[in-house]
Chain A
Amino acid sequence: MIISILTLTIIGAILGLMLSAVNRLLPYKEDPLIKQVTEILPGTQCGQCGYAGCSQAAAAVIEGEAPLTLCPPGGPSMARQLAEILDRPLEQQSSDDIVLPSLANVISEQCIGCTKCIQQCPTDAIVGAPKQLHMILDEACTGCGACVEVCPTEGILLAEMPLTLGNWRWSKPAKPNPFRTPAISREGIA
């Protein structure tokens, strides 16, 4: 009895020491970039980019297999952050058109209350119950489209967020001078 306990303890100690020595001498080098990029990505594992999850997407974008603009929910600001970290040039978008993120909308006539979308939503942005009309919280929706794919009645549509006084921004001055030709239609409204 005592002999077997001692033997096992000694074997365990030796193996433990060996493991820690190997870990010290031959450390596993995880690419710090992967960690950095994964932190930037939303972490919703929505799969919009075509990869299984955010860490796979991070590996792909670091390898250069995926473009900087791979993440639709992240939008242009994330592409810019990725460009900075990976030190890769980001193709300039024309600054004339304001890029607004997309949001999912439930078409109330088509929703049958199956709760399939609720189970799919990576940010729990859909509210509803079985056989009740579902609703999407705009603040939580990332426009990833996971719900669109599972909806059996095609009752969810992605639409660009409407332009309002709150999200409107001045665009880059057109050359030569923005006010020489009226940029805005002057047609009156009755």
Chain B
Amino acid sequence: MKLFGFRGGVHPEALKHHTEAHPIRKLPMPRRLYIPLQQHIGAPAKAEVEAGDRVDKGQLLARSQGLISAPVHAPTSGTIVAIEERPAPHPTGLPVKTIVIETDGQDRSFLNATAAGDPFNLSPEEIANRVGQAGIVGMGGATFPSAVKLMPNPNSPIHTLIINGSECEPYLTCDDRLMQERPNEVIDGIRLIRHALKANCAILAIEDNKPAAYAAMMHAAEETGGVQVIQIPSRYPMGWEKQLVQIVTGHEIPHGQLPGGVGVCVHNVGTAFAIHRTLRADHPLLSRIVTVSGGAIKRPQNLEVPIGALISDLIEFCGGLTEPPARLVMGGPMMGQVMPHQQVPIVKGSSGILALSHHEIDDGPERPCIRCGRCVMACPVGLMPLEMGAKMRSDDVTGAEALGVQDCISCGCCSYVCPSKIPLVQYFNYAKGELQSRRAAKSKTDQTREWAQARIERLEREALEKAELKAQRAAAKAEKEARSAERKAAEKSQ
């Protein structure tokens, strides 16, 4: 298959050898699970259970609220200990509402293991509904509710389904192992998504540094047909949706648009697997595969982890730490988030836990920009990181916005290649946050003005009503007086 080119990108050392050869192991069920109500983009889920309730595996814990939201389910049986604020898997560890389950080790299932009919007979709407009810979100890390992407949109029909098996982040091998070990399930999931979208073709794109996964998927795809498996060159950020669409179809997605705009839909292999489980076995999203790696981990490997297990549970199962980690990261080393401590839970979008040792991180002192332009070459979006960085250094957010900082995807390529070690991507995150605050403040001011106006109008209306009432009363009084005067006059005349 002919591939198209794209600009930018970097070739970081893959470092996948730590984990790519070890089979996926199941994490023993931890004693307690901490399940945040917000694990996805959109509105947080609303708790349906209370402290003290006993729950079974697969039972609904919190309902989705609104169109862009996702429910959460109990990963195993046990008792709800509390619904409270707990540190979120976020760089600040700020609190997020979390359901705490004390597991009972029985794994009593609420689910009915027998599959209900052939999912290929379901309509696209039914498939999207069931995927939505199963709480499936983008498993590559974006955590966008998958059902929204499956809902048929008559305005932009999907002709091509691309399944993202690129896994371009260094260290991570969870998708690689998934494709090697469960290829038939992944292919089935892809065929189901294709059926739901009524796409003409389904393409599974795998980076060429994963030959074993490619061979396994090729084999599985040949058996069933309907899915084309291709190899794409290894380059970061190949797994970024727009980049993937460009290299496979040649379409560049315009500024501010989604892949649906060019008739393409992108899902991750992990999502395809989760959709297969939901539609074939009525199994909501209860666990995910997580790569536990990094120089400070004793036995790096891939684990199948129930949602809500703490990072410390995973690290303990992998033999603990060989040294205090210089940095604890959730996700990949390029786009992942630094974690405040080990007591935060695994969520639906956690693809990896990296405990990086001192020699794996490189933060030398920041030096002046020499305007070498390497960041411009590396930027996959086509921005000028050096110029935007200079603007942000002097807090010129408007200037950075004019240079397109809103289109930055925070892939970190510019920071990676910068010979002066300027924290460029951090500057852009700062800029995007600042712009977001400004938008929020502006909408609040506009709203305030509206409300103030409404109040003024209300007061005027009330004053008017009062005046009218007063006038009416005065008129009534005058009439009464007139009448009594008439009566008196009449009496007198008699």
- The residues of A with any CB-CB pair to B shorter than 8 Å are 40, 42-45, 73-78, 80, 92, 95, 101, 121-125, 139-140, 142, 163-165, 167-173, 175-180, 184-190
| 8 Å CB contact of B91 from A40, A140, A184, A187 | A184
Contact between chains at B452 and A42 (CB < 8 Å): yes
B342 at the interface (CB under 8 A from A): yes
Q: Which of B136-144, B168-176, B438-446, B464-472 contacts A (4 or more CB under 8 A)?
A: B438-446
Q: How far is the CA of A125 from the CA of B436 in the complex (A)?
A: 24
Output the least CB separation between B39 and chain A (Å).
12
Contact between chains at A122 and B452 (CB < 8 Å): yes
Output the least CB separation between A90 and chain B (Å).
10
Point out the residues of chain B lying under 8 angstroms from A140, CB to CB.
447-448, 451
Q: How far is the CA of A139 from the CA of B365 in the complex (A)?
A: 43
Contact between chains at B441 and A77 (CB < 8 Å): yes
Contact between chains at A165 and B38 (CB < 8 Å): yes
Q: How far is the CA of A42 from the CA of B441 in the complex (A)?
A: 12
Output the least CB separation between B466 and chain A (Å).
15
Q: Assuming A78-B441, A165-B38, is B392 touching A172 (CB within 8 A)? A: yes
Q: Assuming A123-B455, A173-B427, A176-B365, is B436 touching A77 (CB within 8 A)? A: no
Output the least CB separation between A138 and chain B (Å).
11
Please report whether the interface of chain A is mostly helix, strand, loop or mixed according to DSSP. Answer: loop
Q: Which of B88-111 contact A (CB under 8 A)?
A: 88, 90-96
A42-B445, A169-B434, A175-B366 given; name 18 further pairs at CB < 8 Å: A40-B445, A43-B449, A44-B449, A44-B451, A95-B395, A101-B444, A122-B452, A123-B452, A124-B455, A124-B458, A168-B94, A169-B433, A172-B395, A173-B430, A176-B366, A178-B423, A179-B361, A189-B86
B194 at the interface (CB under 8 A from A): no
B338 at the interface (CB under 8 A from A): yes
Contact between chains at A184 and B452 (CB < 8 Å): no
Tally of B interface residues using CB under 8 Å: 49
Q: Assuming A169-B437, A172-B395, is B449 touching A42 (CB within 8 A)? A: yes
| 8 Å CB contact of B423 from A123, A168, A177 | A177
Q: How far is the CA of A179 from the CA of B207 in the complex (A)?
A: 31
Contact between chains at B421 and A177 (CB < 8 Å): yes
Point out the residues of chain A lying under 8 angstroms from B363, CB to CB.
177, 179-180
- The residues of B with any CB-CB pair to A shorter than 8 Å are 38, 86-88, 90-96, 327, 338, 340-343, 361, 363, 365-366, 392, 395, 421, 423, 426-427, 429-430, 432-434, 436-438, 440-442, 444-445, 447-449, 451-455, 458
Point out the residues of chain B lying under 8 angstroms from A176, CB to CB.
365-366
Q: How far is the CA of A145 from the CA of B453 in the complex (A)?
A: 19
Point out the residues of chain A lying under 8 angstroms from B395, CB to CB.
92, 95, 172
Output the least CB separation between A8 and chain B (Å).
31
Q: Assuming A172-B427, A180-B363, A186-B340, is B441 touching A75 (CB within 8 A)? A: yes
Contact between chains at B454 and A188 (CB < 8 Å): no
Output the least CB separation between B95 and chain A (Å).
8
| 8 Å CB contact of A163 from B94, B365, B454 | B94
Contact between chains at A173 and B454 (CB < 8 Å): no
Point out the residues of chain B lying under 8 angstroms from A189, CB to CB.
86-87, 93, 341, 343
Point out the residues of chain B lying under 8 angstroms from A77, CB to CB.
437-438, 441-442, 445
Q: Which of A101, A124, A171, A189 has the most CB of B within 10 A?
A: A189
Contact between chains at A142 and B448 (CB < 8 Å): yes
Point out the residues of chain B lying under 8 angstroms from A95, CB to CB.
395, 430
Q: Assuming A124-B454, A124-B455, A165-B38, is B448 touching A170 (CB within 8 A)? A: no
